[in-house]
Amino acid sequence: MYGLTGSIATGKSTVAAMLKEKGAVILDADQISREVVEVGTPGWKQVVEAFPEAVREDGALDRKKLGRIIFADAEKRRQLEAIIHPLVLDAIKTRGTQLKQRGQIVFADIPLLYETNSQIWLDGVVVVYVPQAVQLKRLMERDQLSEKEALKRITAQMSIEEKRQLADYVIDNSGTLSETKVQVDRLWYQIIE
């Protein structure tokens, strides 16, 4: 199982879609993080206890409100991560192992891969890279954020330059889609050989 990471607005989803087209199974940590905090789950119970102000009337988590809380306070972000990360990583390891045993090529799309030290149990790590100026522009456009808000979100994570240095494979996603696809094709053939 390989890790797929980058930073916010670097294009991980684009690369994941290209890998999926080639036949890879993508385990999406963001999707799994939503599953582990669905109403009634042990993860939901822990988050509700820690962040009661982020619960809607129907009992579900208000993800936007929770996002504002954790991006404004590093300690609260660490508190939430300490609850969710172990649950997500356990689910990825379990599902990934089952898929690998069936002969599938698996990529775990984990935004905070290095921050959670997940590289130690993966066969390799692919970092989707763009320069920070491109990342900032994309994030502001995609999420309709001010420059200050976007920078706060970017700097809340390990820098893309650090991740690039640690990567086994780098996909530079700052060019055209066809340029990215050429790199994904090259990566795919390296992995299946």
Distance CA 5, CA 49 (A): 30
Q: What integer is the mean pLDDT of 120-145? A: 96
Q: What pLDDT does 190 receive?
A: 95
Collect all residues with Cβ–Cβ distance below 8 Å to 140 and sequence separation of at least 6: 146, 147, 150
| Maximum distance among all Cα pairs of the chain, rounded to whole angstroms | 52
* Predicted confidence band of residue 193 (pLDDT cuts 50, 70, 90): confident
| Best CA proximity match to 148, nearest among 94, 71, 76 | 71
Give backbone dihedrals phi and psi of 128, rounded to 5 degrees, phi first.
Answer: -90, 120
Q: What pLDDT does 5 receive?
A: 97
Q: What pLDDT does 165 receive?
A: 97
* Predicted confidence band of residue 71 (pLDDT cuts 50, 70, 90): confident
Distance CA 93, CA 60 (A): 26
Q: What angle do CA 139, 145, 148 make, to 5 degrees?
A: 95
Q: Which domains does the chain have, with CATH numbers?
A: 1-24+106-192 (3.40.50.300), 28-104 (3.40.50.300)
* pLDDT, mean over the chain: 95
* Predicted confidence band of residue 75 (pLDDT cuts 50, 70, 90): very high
* Predicted confidence band of residue 106 (pLDDT cuts 50, 70, 90): very high
